[in-house]
Each structure stands twice: as C-alpha cells, then as structure tokens.
C-alpha cells in the first residue's frame, strides 16, 4: 500500500489535501470514489478507516481493494471533480495513540516473555490476544514498563529495509513478508512490520492502561486503552470512586475497606432480621389453630423464612396442608404450600397456577412460586382446589 498517492505514509500528521476524482461508481455503501492521492487511511492491520469529508460530502468508510483506496461517500463526486479532503483528526489521532500503545505493550511482552500478539481488534477498547499466559503481577509489570517508554519519550521510527537488511532485524510479524516491508520501531520497546498510522514519539501516547485480562486459548486476552481514551477512563473511575467515597464518608483510597465494613454490617443486620422473623413467625404460629387446611398471608418475609414457617405449620403444629403467602410490594404473592397428605400436590400446582396466573411448582410434598391475583381470589381458589381432594 506504500504507493506515492498514499499521503498518510509521507506524513502521518497530514489532515487535509487536494485531489482529483479518478472514478466514482454507485455502490451499496453509497458511492465508491477513487482519487489520484489521499490522506484517508483505509481499514487495515487492525486499525479502522478514517472518516471525514471530500468537499462537503461525507466519507463514511475507506477500504483498500486490489491496491486501490476506495472512499465510500454519501453523495456522487463525478470523475474529474477537484476535491479538498479533510479527515476527522480526533478519530485518527485516537487510533494513532492506541495503535502505537498496542505496539509498545506487545513489544514489552515479546521482550520479557517471548509471547506473540496473535489477535488485535480496535473497538471501544483495544483487545489483544497473546500466545502465553500472564498473571496479574506480570501484567502490572508490563504496564509499568510500557508507561516508562512513554515517560522517556522514545522515538517511533518508520523504515523500509531491504530483504537482506530485514534478515538482521529481529522484528515481530505474523507472516513471511514479500516486497516492500514497512518496519515500525519504538526505540527500546518494539520492532514490528506494520502498515498502520502511529505517533512520532512515545510521549504522544500519553498513558497506557490495561483494563482486564482473561484466559484465551492457551494464552491471555487483554483489554487496554491509551491516550485520551485512557485519560477519559481514569476520569470515569475517579467520578465513580468519588461518589462511593462521599456515600461511605471514607477517603477515596480507603473505599474498599469502607465497603468491606458496610458488607459486614449488612450481614449482621440480615442475621438479626432472620432471627426476629423466626420469633415473629413462632408467635404467629402459636395463635393459629391447627387444621386440615391452614392459610396465612404475610408481608415482608424472605423466601427461606416463608418455607420454614410452612414446614413448621405442618410438622410441628400438625396441620394437614399449609399454604402461606407473602405479599410483595408489586402486589404479586409468593407462595409456599406444604402438605403431609396424599393429595397429588405437584399436579394441583398446575391448576392453581392456571387459575391464579401463577408460576412455579415442586413435589407432592412442597410447591412454591408466585400468584398474580387478588388476595380474596387466591384464598377462594386455594380452598376450592386444596380442600376438594380431601
Ligand atoms: Zn502498527
């Protein structure tokens, strides 16, 4: 792709240019325009295409096909038209920062562990796959060394060495390369064959932040952000952390301890609540007369307590069948029905659910689920169905 008409290789910082339209054909993506020269970088090497304008016509995608760079435009630009092109520089510079940052990280990993970059995708984050596993400490070390390359502002050098010269250079490449090969060197970090656009010195990458890592095949998949994207990410974390810190009344560097304390306090409260619910349900049970079919409607009781209560009504109190309900805030009733009788409870669950817009089921001893009907309606249907088979 290193032709004379690819202005982005002569100067990766060029944003504007003048050109003449060589051809323009209708295409399902709009119009396919070929120019005599361009600064629009076509999608390639994992780097997305430039966007921008030719005169006042929007360029929505750029691809390379058969050694030609095709600009997909929203309107027709007839052959012979003189155009002034402007690329979306914020978009391009973001790719340059992130692409160069990826080189630095891949180069450091290659230097330290000998692993290869085996997959690269630039989306909302930069996703890179490496051929070997790295643990959390190793990743933090890679991240620190990569940022040291930025702090020392190592130059990024583009060269086109001959085949003989290339044999002497230990560059990273996914495949055997023929013809002109463009070598991108980040001094002290990386040497790699690459056709993308890069910043001219590591300092312009600004910041490299590795967000996550997970096992992928026999290696690791990492997500990272560089430059302005990394800065925006840190700002987002800070805003979140500040919000948490305010709510916990804890300094921002102590929020993890604050959350741990909150979690312990919550568990204590849950234990208390469970104990008090058990006492309350015990009292309630004491007041109920044992019967063949006992129904009780509660509110604000957790599912475990509800089940224990129904169980106690049958096993301790000696009721034949216990149907207990818990009214949720949205008006739906949770139910637990336990029986000591041979009434085919599992099958009856279908009738109940059908008549009371319910869901759930279980065994012949116990069923549970929800009803979406009024309390009176539920009482009536429970009586009808659970007492019928007596
Ligand atoms: Zn590159």
Distance of CA 333 from the midpoint of ligand 1 (Å) = 60
Residue 2: the pLDDT is 47
- pLDDT tens-digit map of 262-279: 999 999 999 999 999 999
Same-domain pairing of 327 and 367: yes
> The domain that contains 149 carries what CATH number?
3.30.980.10
State the first-to-last Cα distance of the chain, in angstroms, to the nearest integer: 86
Distance of CA 59 from the midpoint of ligand 1 (Å) = 23
Distance of CA 197 from the midpoint of ligand 1 (Å) = 6
**Rounded to 10 degrees, what is the CA torsion of 60, 61, 66, 68?**
60
Question: Quick one: what percent of the chain has pLDDT higher than 90?
Answer: 87
Q: Is 311's pLDDT higher than 50?
A: yes
Distance of CA 66 from the midpoint of ligand 1 (Å) = 21
> The domain that contains 35 carries what CATH number?
2.40.30.130
Distance of CA 115 from the midpoint of ligand 1 (Å) = 17
Q: How many structural domains comprise the chain?
A: 3
Please indicate, yes or no, if residue 32 is contained in any of the structural domains. Answer: yes
Residue 176: the pLDDT is 67
Please state the rounded mean pLDDT for residues 195-205: 96
Residue 358: the pLDDT is 96
Q: Is 390's pLDDT higher than 90?
A: no
Report how far residue 296's alpha carbon sits from residue 57's, in angstroms, rounded to the nearest whole number: 72
- pLDDT tens-digit map of 100-134: 999 999 999 999 999 999 999 998 899 999 999 99
Report how far residue 100's alpha carbon sits from residue 12's, in angstroms, rounded to the nearest whole number: 12
Q: Is 216's pLDDT higher than 90?
A: yes
Please indicate, yes or no, if residue 243 is contained in any of the structural domains. Answer: no
Distance of CA 201 from the midpoint of ligand 1 (Å) = 13
Please indicate, yes or no, if residue 312 is contained in any of the structural domains. Answer: yes
Same-domain pairing of 67 and 102: no
Please indicate, yes or no, if residue 54 is contained in any of the structural domains. Answer: yes
Same-domain pairing of 75 and 121: no
> The domain that contains 363 carries what CATH number?
3.10.310.40
pTM confidence score: 0.81
- pLDDT tens-digit map of 293-306: 999 999 999 999 99
Same-domain pairing of 103 and 60: no
Same-domain pairing of 128 and 144: yes
Distance of CA 119 from the midpoint of ligand 1 (Å) = 13
Distance of CA 198 from the midpoint of ligand 1 (Å) = 6
Please indicate, yes or no, if residue 257 is contained in any of the structural domains. Answer: no
Question: Which residue among 87, 112, 130 closes a domain?
Answer: 87
Same-domain pairing of 28 and 115: no
Same-domain pairing of 224 and 161: yes
Same-domain pairing of 49 and 130: no
Please state the rounded mean pLDDT for residues 306-321: 95
Distance of CA 231 from the midpoint of ligand 1 (Å) = 21
Distance of CA 259 from the midpoint of ligand 1 (Å) = 42
Name the pLDDT band for 349 (thresholds 50, 70, 90): very high
- pLDDT tens-digit map of 226-251: 999 999 999 999 999 999 999 999 99
**Beta-bridge mates of residue 50:** none
Distance of CA 12 from the midpoint of ligand 1 (Å) = 12
Same-domain pairing of 145 and 161: yes
Question: Which residue among 201, 235, 269 closes a domain?
Answer: 235
Distance of CA 353 from the midpoint of ligand 1 (Å) = 61
Same-domain pairing of 226 and 330: no
Same-domain pairing of 20 and 82: yes
Residue 25: the pLDDT is 97
Distance of CA 195 from the midpoint of ligand 1 (Å) = 6
Provide the residue range defining the domain that includes 347. 281-388
Please indicate, yes or no, if residue 254 is contained in any of the structural domains. Answer: no
Burial 305-323 (b: 16+ CB within 10 A, else e): bbbbbbbbbbeeeebbbbb
- pLDDT tens-digit map of 363-376: 999 999 999 999 99
- pLDDT tens-digit map of 10-52: 999 999 999 999 999 999 999 999 999 999 999 988 899 999 9
Task: Give the residue among 13, 20, 28 at the shortest CA–CA distance from 63.
Answer: 28
Q: What are phi and psi of 18, to 5 degrees?
A: -115, 145
CA–CA distance from 186 to each of 154, 163, 175, 305 (Å)?
Answer: 7, 20, 20, 64
Distance of CA 103 from the midpoint of ligand 1 (Å) = 6
Q: At what angle do helices 227-248 and 255-287 cross, to 10 degrees?
A: 50
Same-domain pairing of 124 and 25: no
Distance of CA 118 from the midpoint of ligand 1 (Å) = 14
CA angle 27, 30, 31 (to 5 degrees): 70
Average pLDDT, the chain: 94
- pLDDT tens-digit map of 50-61: 999 999 999 999
Please indicate, yes or no, if residue 258 is contained in any of the structural domains. Answer: no
Distance of CA 83 from the midpoint of ligand 1 (Å) = 29
Distance, C-alpha 328 to centroid of its chain: 33
Distance of CA 27 from the midpoint of ligand 1 (Å) = 30
- pLDDT tens-digit map of 156-190: 999 999 988 988 888 887 666 777 889 999 999 99
Distance of CA 99 from the midpoint of ligand 1 (Å) = 6
Question: Which residue among 87, 112, 135 closes a domain?
Answer: 87
Distance of CA 305 from the midpoint of ligand 1 (Å) = 61
Please indicate, yes or no, if residue 2 is contained in any of the structural domains. Answer: no
Distance of CA 96 from the midpoint of ligand 1 (Å) = 8
């Amino acid at each position: 792709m290193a032709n004379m008409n690819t202005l982005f290789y002569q100067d990766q910082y060029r944003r504007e240019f003048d050109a003449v339209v060589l051809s323009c054909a209708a295409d399902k993506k709009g119009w396919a325009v070929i120019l005599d020269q361009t600064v629009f970088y076509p999608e390639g090497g994992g780097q997305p295409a430039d966007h921008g304008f030719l005169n006042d016509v929007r360029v929505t995608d750029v691809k390379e096909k058969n050694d030609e760079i095709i600009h997909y435009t929203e309107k027709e630009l007839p052959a012979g038209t003189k155009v002034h092109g402007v690329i979306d520089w914020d978009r391009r510079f973001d790719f340059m920062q992130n692409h160069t940052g990826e080189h630095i990280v891949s180069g450091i990993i290659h230097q330290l562990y000998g692993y290869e970059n085996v997959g690269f995708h630039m989306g909302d984050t930069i996703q890179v796959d490496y051929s070997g596993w790295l643990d959390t400490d190793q990743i933090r070390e890679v991240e620190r060394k990569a940022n040291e390359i930025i702090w020392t502002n190592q130059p990024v050098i583009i060269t086109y060495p001959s085949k003989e010269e290339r044999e002497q250079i230990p560059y990273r490449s996914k495949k055997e390369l023929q013809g002109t090969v463009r070598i991108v060197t980040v001094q002290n970090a990386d040497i790699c064959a690459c056709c993308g656009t890069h910043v001219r010195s590591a300092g312009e990458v600004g910041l490299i932040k590795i967000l996550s890592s997970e096992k992928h095949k026999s290696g690791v998949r990492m997500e990272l952000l560089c430059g302005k994207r990394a800065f925006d990410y840190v700002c987002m974390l800070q805003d979140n952390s500040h919000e948490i810190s305010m709510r916990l009344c804890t300094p921002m560097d102590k929020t993890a301890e604050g959350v741990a304390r909150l979690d312990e306090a919550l568990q204590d409260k849950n234990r208390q609540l469970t104990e008090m619910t058990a006492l309350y349900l015990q009292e309630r049970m004491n007041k109920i007369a044992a019967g063949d079919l006992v129904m009780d409607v509660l509110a604000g009781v957790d599912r475990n307590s509800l089940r224990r209560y129904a169980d106690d009504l049958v096993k301790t109190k000696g009721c034949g069948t216990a149907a207990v309900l818990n009214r949720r805030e949205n008006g739906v009733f949770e139910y637990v029905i336990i029986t000591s009788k041979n009434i085919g409870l599992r099958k009856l669950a279908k009738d109940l659910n059908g008549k009371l817009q319910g869901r759930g089921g279980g065994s012949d001893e116990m069923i549970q689920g929800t009803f979406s009907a009024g309390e009176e309606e539920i009482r009536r249907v429970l009586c009808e169905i659970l007492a019928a088979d007596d």
